[in-house]
Structure 1
Amino acid sequence: MTPKTLLLAALIAGPLFTAPAFAQPVPPAPPAANRAGPHHGAGPKMGQMGARMFPSMSEAGRKTMHEAMMAGGNRRDDRQKVEAAREKMLAALEAERFDASAVKRAMDEERSLADATRQQRQAAMLAAFQKLSPEDRKAFVTDSRAMKTRMQGRMDGWRDRVRRLRSDGEARPMPAPTAQPMEG
Structure 2
Amino acid sequence: MGLNTNHLLACLESSPKISEIVNFNALLPVRNKDEVVIPPPAFYFLPFYIDQKQSWSNAWESFDKLGQFSDWKKPIIQYHSGMIKKNYFDLTENIYEKKEKSAVKNKIEKYETAISIVSDFIPNIETTVNLEEFDEIEEELKYKMFDLHNLQELVFEEFAELRADKAHVQSQLVIANEALSELEKIMSLQKKQMMK
TM-score, normalising length from structure 1?
0.23
Query: Which structure has the greater CA radius of gyration?
Result: 2
Q: Greater RCO between the two (CA within 8 Å, min separation 6)?
A: 1
TM-score, normalising length from structure 2?
0.22
